[in-house]
């Protein structure tokens, strides 16, 4: 498959996404949409009201707004993104309930604003979030703690953090202080050692002894079971490791990204859509559309990093994933506010529902393919 054969499809699909986001702009009533109910976005999770300013996905809607602003230059998108960014300040005041996902929250909001507009207040927000992420680093075991303080969830490190540590790389680049980068690299090295298995599938969660660094457990997390293969975790690893390569130039991170991507591609190559878990029972069939679009973003970046003879493997896989997602899982009807359907939060809950980051990564991937050098991470 030659990518040039798909350029019209990319442009047409982006145009449909732009049209739908323009239509829903005044109809989405929350600053931080998560999933839809009866076609309408709301910030609720598993029937629990999330007025939770600390919820980990709260950076994705402002991220979509910044993507649309870059694409259209329409000021309404900029204004909405800034409104969301300002509202996120309340999360800084709820320190005990924050977590390692401050990267997800502020890279696509405040840091994106700073990159685009050189807003000094946004720079301060990004650096403050980076300080909070760096403070979660365990010096003895060389990992960033995912959640909690005190004894709650102590020792937990998760694969998702590979997408948060770009906040630390940015902070080093911006401040000139190498300590942020050192923490990010040490966490990435620990992730290679303990999260990536011999077959290049990944563990979602690794629990460490906080003092010795001994591995205590590798539980199922959001996958089917211990030792299974949660597809979105695999996608976080693909994109996260190539981002570490982009920020450091260290080939071991590119090699890790390639290895985990080969595993992902081999598990979707029949239809180019991802099941929630690659090692789960045949029935019920549980898909996770978000895993595919996240992986596609990473595959596109890998294609940029490798030599010309390797590029087609990664670029064509990304295009096939996005085309399959559009054909099978996208809803362009204006009665549904989301675009990408059939996302799954975890194997046991939040099954086959739109999730805001599905739309975000789908649009980001399409914009990358359309020649926009988009890298909020």
Q: What is the pLDDT of residues 124-141, one digit of tens each?
A: 999 999 999 999 999 999
Q: Helix, strand, or coil here: 206?
A: strand
The CA distance from 182 to 353, in Å, is: 38
The CA distance from 94 to 86, in Å, is: 15
**How long is the chain?**
377
From the DSSP assignment, how many helices (H) and strands (E) are in the chain?
14, 9
- Using alpha carbons, list the distances in angstroms from residue 51 to 54, 88, 207, 242: 9, 12, 30, 34
334: Cα within 13 Å, side-chain hemisphere: 11
The CA R_g of the chain, rounded to the nearest whole Å, is 19
- Region 40-46: mean pLDDT is 71
Residue partners of 326: CB distance under 8 A and separation at least 6: 13
- Domains of the chain (ranges; CATH) run 3-369 (1.50.10.10)
Position 96 confidence tier, pLDDT thresholds 50, 70, 90: confident
Res 47 pLDDT > 80: no
Catalytic annotation, residues: 101, 160
Kindly report the pTM of this predicted structure.
0.97
Helix (H) / strand (E) containing 215: strand 215-217
Position 1 confidence tier, pLDDT thresholds 50, 70, 90: very low
The CA distance from 235 to 257, in Å, is: 10
Res 45 pLDDT > 60: no
- Region 268-289: mean pLDDT is 97
- Region 111-120: mean pLDDT is 98
Residue partners of 111: CB distance under 8 A and separation at least 6: 122, 125, 126, 167, 170, 376
Res 49 pLDDT > 50: no
Q: What is the pLDDT of residues 331-354, one digit of tens each?
A: 999 999 999 999 999 999 999 999
The CA distance from 208 to 286, in Å, is: 30
Q: What is the pLDDT of residues 142-196, one digit of tens each?
A: 999 999 877 778 899 999 999 999 999 999 999 999 999 999 999 999 999 999 9
Q: What is the pLDDT of residue 3?
A: 54
The CA distance from 2 to 300, in Å, is: 14
Q: What is the pLDDT of residue 51?
A: 62
Cα dihedral value 99, 105, 110, 111, nearest 10: 90
Burial of 219 from C-beta contacts in 10 A (0-12 / 13-18 / 19+):
middle
Percentage of residues of the chain with pLDDT beyond 90: 92
Other Cβ atoms less than 10 A from the Cβ of 135: the count is 11
């Amino acid at each position: 498959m030659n990518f040039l054969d798909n350029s019209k499809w990319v442009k047409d699909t982006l145009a449909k996404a732009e049209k739908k986001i323009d239509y829903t702009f005044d109809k989405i009533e929350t600053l931080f949409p998560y999933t839809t109910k009866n076609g309408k976005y709301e910030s609720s999770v598993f029937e629990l009201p999330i007025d939770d300013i600390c919820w980990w996905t709260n950076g994705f809607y402002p991220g979509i707004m910044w993507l649309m602003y870059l694409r259209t230059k329409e000021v309404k998108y900029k204004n909405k993104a800034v409104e969301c960014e300002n509202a996120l300040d309340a999360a800084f005041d709820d320190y005990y309930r924050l977590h390692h996902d401050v990267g997800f929250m502020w890279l696509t909001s405040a840091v994106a604003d700073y990159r685009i507009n050189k807003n000094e207040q946004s720079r301060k927000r990004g650096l403050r979030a980076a300080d909070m992420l760096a403070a979660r680093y365990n010096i003895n075991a060389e990992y960033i703690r995912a959640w909690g303080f005190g004894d709650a969830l102590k020792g937990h490190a998760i694969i998702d953090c590979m997408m948060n540590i770009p906040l630390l790389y940015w902070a080093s680049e911006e401040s000139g202080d190498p300590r942020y980068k050192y923490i990010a690299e040490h966490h990435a090295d620990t992730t290679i050692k303990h999260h990536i298995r011999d077959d290049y599938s990944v563990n979602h969660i690794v629990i460490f002894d906080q003092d010795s660094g001994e591995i205590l457990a590798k539980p199922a997390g959001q996958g089917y079971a211990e030792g299974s293969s949660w597809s979105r975790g695999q996608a976080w690893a693909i994109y996260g490791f190539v981002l570490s390569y982009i920020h450091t130039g260290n080939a071991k991170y590119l090699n890790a990204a390639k290895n985990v991507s080969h595993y992902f591609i081999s598990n979707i190559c029949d239809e180019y859509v991802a099941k929630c878990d690659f090692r789960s029972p045949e029935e019920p069939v549980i898909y996770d559309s978000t895993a595919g679009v996240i992986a596609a973003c990473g595959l596109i970046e890998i294609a940029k990093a490798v030599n010309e003879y390797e590029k087609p493997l990664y670029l064509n896989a990304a295009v096939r994933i996005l085309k399959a997602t559009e054909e099978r899982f996208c809803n362009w009807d204006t009665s549904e506010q989301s675009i990408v359907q059939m996302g799954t939060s975890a194997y046991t809950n939040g099954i086959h529902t739109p999730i805001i980051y599905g739309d975000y990564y789908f649009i980001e991937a399409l914009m990358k393919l359309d020649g926009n050098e988009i890298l909020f991470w």
